[in-house]
Amino acid sequence: MQEELSQIFERSANEEFHNSSPLYEHLSLAIAKDPEMLSLAAHCRKGERAPNLFFAAVHLLLLKGTRHPLSLYYRSLSGSCAATDDPYPTFRAFCLEYDEEIRSLISARMVQTNEVRRCIAIMPALILVSREAKGRPLYLVEIGASAGLNLLWDRYAYDYGEMRRCGDMNSPVQIKCAVKGKVVPPLPETFPEISARVGIDVNPVDVNDRDHALWLRALVWPEHEERAQGLQRAIQVTRQNPPTLIRGNGVESLPAIVEAVPKDSVLCIVRMFTPIAPISRDRLSSLVAAYGAKRDVFMISSRSHGRDESELLFRSFVNGIKTEKCVAYFQNHGAWIEWLDAG
């Protein structure tokens, strides 16, 4: 078990935190060689990404006001990396001092990052859906919605550079990203009508609950100040415009939800960065295909593509005819997008 966990921390350092979070990269490499820390991390909830969950638990305790020299190494707490020496001995001491609290958190909590910058990929994909749906209202269902922040995608402003902007320019959430390649993502003058916003999650996050909102903040890496600010602003928007959140398994809950889709609306399912077992993935595909044989349906999802980027997949059943294609590549935290679909 420890050997496998050690490999997970080392892989996360090299593939996930490298060039993105120097603190977590350094700590991950050190933990990978520390049996005592690996023993503590082994209490992480099964099926969760152990490094992200472990670091979020420590981050949460610090954000809640736990006084410790470790906070000097966190830009999210000190405003800068006030300490410049090796952070690991201090991190290790913190974990040993608060081992019970950390064990309690990592055995119960889940990695439920709600990254609003990923809307730079979701938004143009939904514009593509609207075009193919001939402008009919969209009935949005997100699987693995966390707090449902991305369901409010049309309440945000988007800037793709070179004066390519759209959305609510007065929104507190201003999302910027770079565009790679020669194809510009579809940017509308007005957003489509949304008839419903439904999020499904095994453990929905209530942004009106201070502890829930702070957990979302703790999941943002310490150096990512812009992401953290965007999260806080999106939480404000969501508190004013709460979507419908349903507790349950996304695949199992879907049949009952789709029955409620009005005849004049088009169902669009969104599943971004939500891991599901192969058997559930197959069942989801079967459910979408069965529904698509009766009514038009669209599905937007992501798939890992390289170290820090993903594919944006677009699937549709229009008049019973299936179409599936990759329409874009994008950086996992929304820093850039490369739109492929010129149709």
Q: Find tokens 């669009």 and name the residue.
A: 268
CA distance 254 to 37: 40
pLDDT at 277: 74
Quote the DSSP letter at residue 73.
Answer: G
* Cβ density class 7-46: b for 16+ within 10 Å, e for less: ebbbebbeebbbebbbbbbbbbbbbbebeebbebbebbee
Nearest of 153, 147, 272, 240 to residue 199 by alpha carbon? 147
Q: For residue range 204-221, list pLDDT tens digits in order.
A: 999 999 999 999 999 999
Q: For residue range 113-149, list pLDDT tens digits in order.
A: 889 999 999 999 999 999 999 999 999 999 999 999 9
DSSP 231-254: HHHHHHHHHHSPPEEEES-HHHHH
Write the single-letter amino acid at 302. Answer: S
pLDDT at 85: 87
Residue 333: CA count within 13 A, CB half-sphere = 19
Q: Find tokens 């997008």 and name the residue.
A: 337
Q: For residue range 291-324, list pLDDT tens digits in order.
A: 999 999 999 999 988 778 999 999 999 999 999 9
According to DSSP, the residues that pair with 279 across neighbouring strands are none
Would you state the structure tokens that stand for residue 131, as one six-digit string? Answer: 């075009």
User: Around Cβ 290, how many Cβ atoms within 10 Å?
Assistant: 13
Identify each DSSP E strand in the chain by its residue range: 138-143, 157-159, 165-167, 174-176, 178-180, 194-201, 244-247, 266-271, 297-304, 309-318, 321-331, 336-339
CA distance 312 to 320: 22
**Residue 122 in contact with residue 300, Cβ under 8 Å?**
yes
Judged by DSSP in three states, 290 sits in: helix
Quote the DSSP letter at residue 182.
Answer: S
Check: pTM over 0.85? Answer yes or no: yes
Q: Distance of alpha carbon 77 from its chain centroid, rounded?
A: 22
Per-residue pLDDT tens listing for the chain (343 residues) = 789 999 999 999 998 899 889 999 999 999 999 999 999 999 999 888 999 999 999 999 999 999 999 999 999 987 666 567 899 999 999 999 999 999 999 999 999 888 999 999 999 999 999 999 999 999 999 999 999 999 999 999 999 998 899 999 999 999 999 999 989 999 998 999 999 999 999 889 999 999 999 999 999 999 999 899 999 999 999 999 999 999 998 888 999 998 899 999 999 999 998 877 777 888 999 999 999 999 999 999 999 887 789 999 999 999 999 999 999 999 998 999 999 975 5
pLDDT at 240: 94
What average pLDDT does the chain have? 93
Say how many Å lie between the first and final Cα of the chain, rounded: 49
CA distance 160 to 178: 6
